[in-house]
Structure 1
């Protein structure tokens, strides 16, 4: 199992429309990636390490796939459509990390 993490940095002036993200962007991603996408987790940052400090990421999304190949095969043909939707909900440039789930 691999996890594709999409992290949206929380910088000064960052805007993020969570309603659009949850009700439009994530359903779009689910539709386009189809059965290759095994699960989705969305987290809204609420704090950093120190109490009261800002969260380093305004939002993180974790997409689960059986393999890197399954991710690449499903995402590749739809990459532009998915990426073109980003400015509709945020001005933050997302960071991507692909990891192998060990536990």
Structure 2
């Protein structure tokens, strides 16, 4: 199983519209990428309750194989990136992981 994660670092002066992200962008991404499932995280705190969260949000997509993910993202990345202006000014950090 492959997990594709996108993290949005908390940065002063940057914006992130969580409602648009979870209600519009993520359903679009789910439709285009066709993952096994996906999740959206809202950052609450860092290593201790009450400390600032290092990320305002993150998402995680799960795929059966790296090949399937690669085929889907190569076709749909431009559309998904174009929609970013509608919910954030943050440059995301991405990671592809194998769930072991």
Q: Is the shorter-chain TM-score for this pair beyond 0.5, marking a shared fold? A: yes
Aligned-residue Cα RMSD (Å) equals 0.9
| Aligned-partner Cα distance in 1 for 2:66–2:84 | 22
TM-score, with structure 1 as normaliser: 0.92
Question: How far apart are the structure 2 equivalents of 1:15 and 1:55?
Answer: 15
Partner of 1:86: 84
> Runs ≥4 in structure 1, deviation > 6 angstroms?
none
Count of residues paired in the alignment: 100
Residue 44 of structure 1 is matched in structure 2 by 42
Gaps of 5+ in 1: none
Matches within 5 A, 1:12-23: 12-23=12-23
Which blocks of at least 5 consecutive residues in structure 2 are unaligned? none
